[in-house]
Amino acid sequence: MTPSRDLFPDRAAISARHPSIMAGSRREQVIGWAIMGLLVALTILAITRLEFSFARLGSGLVQLGTFLGLMIPPSPGTQLATFSKALAETVAIAFLGTLLAAIISFPIGFLAARNVMTNRIVQFMTRRFSDSIRGVDTLIWALIWINVVGLGPFAGVLAIMTSDIGSFSKLYSEAIESVDRKPSEGVISTGGSSLHAVRFGIIPAVLPVLISQTLYYFESNTRSATIIGIVGAGGIGLHLAEMIRTFEWDRVAFIILMVLATVALIDFVSSRLRLALVGQRVTSV
């Protein structure tokens, strides 16, 4: 006996009584096929316009294999101290940019939260402000800040800070909106003000989530700081781009391994730090 008969022993009778429900409306079928056809057409158009070629892909994979062979064994040459200093600068850029963004975004998150900000105009404008900033990639912010303050790690810090303000504002506001209202209502019922409700009813409940999100972005920004370094925003990215341009593939492999090891270490430390700061509550979010 088939599964359909097990589930619907009177399928034929049900179909006879409710043909439109069992078969689906003609309009829904037409819309479904139209969407599928549009997606197929867009895929074909993209492949055609972007000059997608399996032959070029195959030759590129062969070339990639050649590069990977040249990367073995990874070696820093005589530049281990230089690479280490640049990597430490990359981590510092990510840390300071993330920290500044978190500090600035903390009050913005409350302004964008519907359950805190009663003025809908302020709440709406704050959300659109964060959306506008978040819509610009970190690399573009790096190019903008390089032209404003010049080359160097300071531009990298400002780029990560600016980009993360948009992301943190959205994440913080959503975390604040999802918090249980009972603690803040209890504070108000005992005579507390709205600020007291935020301080004692909302912040303690939402702080573990905010810390967890911030620590994750610190790990992610370490990778971003590597990329923006390529355009002159300081850090290890500048050396990585230089080694690629000069075909020093063993050094390229060594820099990549340094970045991977650093990100893994930051992930390990941040996990322990989250547990130390907020305990097991993070795991239940």
Q: Write the pLDDT tens digit of every residue in 79-95.
A: 889 899 999 999 999 99
Q: Are residues 51 and 87 in the same domain?
A: no
Per mean pLDDT, which range of 38-42, 64-68, 125-129 is the poorest?
64-68
Task: Dig out the tokens for 186 from the structure.
Answer: 């209890």
Residue 184 confidence (pLDDT) above 80: no
Which range of residues forms the domain containing residue 53?
11-69
Q: Judge whether 134 lies within some domain.
A: yes
Q: Are residues 126 and 220 in the same domain?
A: yes
Q: Are residues 194 and 274 in the same domain?
A: yes
What is the separation of C-alpha 156 from the centre of its chain, rounded to a whole number of angstroms?
Answer: 17
16-20, 27-31, 131-135, 196-200, range with greatest mean pLDDT: 131-135
Task: Dig out the tokens for 141 from the structure.
Answer: 């912010």
- Cα(198)–Cα(178) distance, integer angstroms: 14
pLDDT average, residue stretch 38-43: 92
Place of tokens 């439109």: 20
50-59, 77-86, 154-163, range with greatest mean pLDDT: 154-163
pLDDT at 158: 94
Q: Judge whether 275 lies within some domain.
A: yes
Q: Are residues 38 and 112 in the same domain?
A: no
232 phi, psi to nearest 5 deg = 105, 15
pLDDT in tens, 96-148: 999 999 999 999 988 888 887 778 888 888 888 888 888 888 889 999 999 99
- Cα(279)–Cα(116) distance, integer angstroms: 26
Q: CA quadruple 87, 90, 94, 96: dihedral positive or negative?
A: positive
- Cα(216)–Cα(266) distance, integer angstroms: 9
Q: Judge whether 2 lies within some domain.
A: no
- Cα(265)–Cα(163) distance, integer angstroms: 24
* CA-based radius of gyration for the chain: 27
Average confidence score pLDDT of the chain: 82
3-17, 36-50, 115-129, range with greatest mean pLDDT: 36-50
Q: Are residues 154 and 201 in the same domain?
A: yes
pLDDT at 19: 62
DSSP state letter for 74: -
Residue 4 confidence (pLDDT) above 50: no
Q: Are residues 92 and 233 in the same domain?
A: yes
Q: Are residues 180 and 273 in the same domain?
A: yes
Q: Are residues 230 and 193 in the same domain?
A: yes
Rounded (10°) CA dihedral 183, 186, 190, 194: 60
Inter-helix orientation angle 80-112/120-134, to 10°? 160
Q: Are residues 23 and 112 in the same domain?
A: no
Q: Are residues 244 and 149 in the same domain?
A: yes
Rounded (10°) CA dihedral 124, 127, 131, 132: 60
Q: Are residues 148 and 238 in the same domain?
A: yes
- Total domains, the chain: 2
Residue of 138, 94, 139, 101 whose CA lies nearest to 236: 94
Last residue of some domain: 47, 69, 91? 69
Q: Is 42 left (phi over 0), alpha (psi -120 to 50) or beta?
A: alpha
Q: Judge whether 62 lies within some domain.
A: yes
- Say if CB 193 and CB 227 are below 8 A apart: no
Residue 9 confidence (pLDDT) above 70: no
- Say if CB 113 and CB 198 are below 8 A apart: no
pLDDT at 160: 93
pLDDT at 284: 40
DSSP state letter for 118: -
Task: Dig out the tokens for 155 from the structure.
Answer: 């531009």
- Give the model's confidence band at 24: pLDDT under 50 very low, under 70 low, under 90 confident, else very high: low
* pTM exceeds 0.85, yes or no: no
pLDDT in tens, 195-250: 777 777 778 778 888 888 888 888 888 888 888 888 888 889 888 888 888 888 88
Q: Are residues 102 and 216 in the same domain?
A: yes
Last residue of some domain: 69, 87, 103? 69
pLDDT at 14: 64
Q: Judge whether 5 lies within some domain.
A: no
Looking at the chain, the whole-number percentage of residues with pLDDT higher than 90 is 21
Per mean pLDDT, which range of 17-26, 62-71, 155-164 is the poorest?
17-26
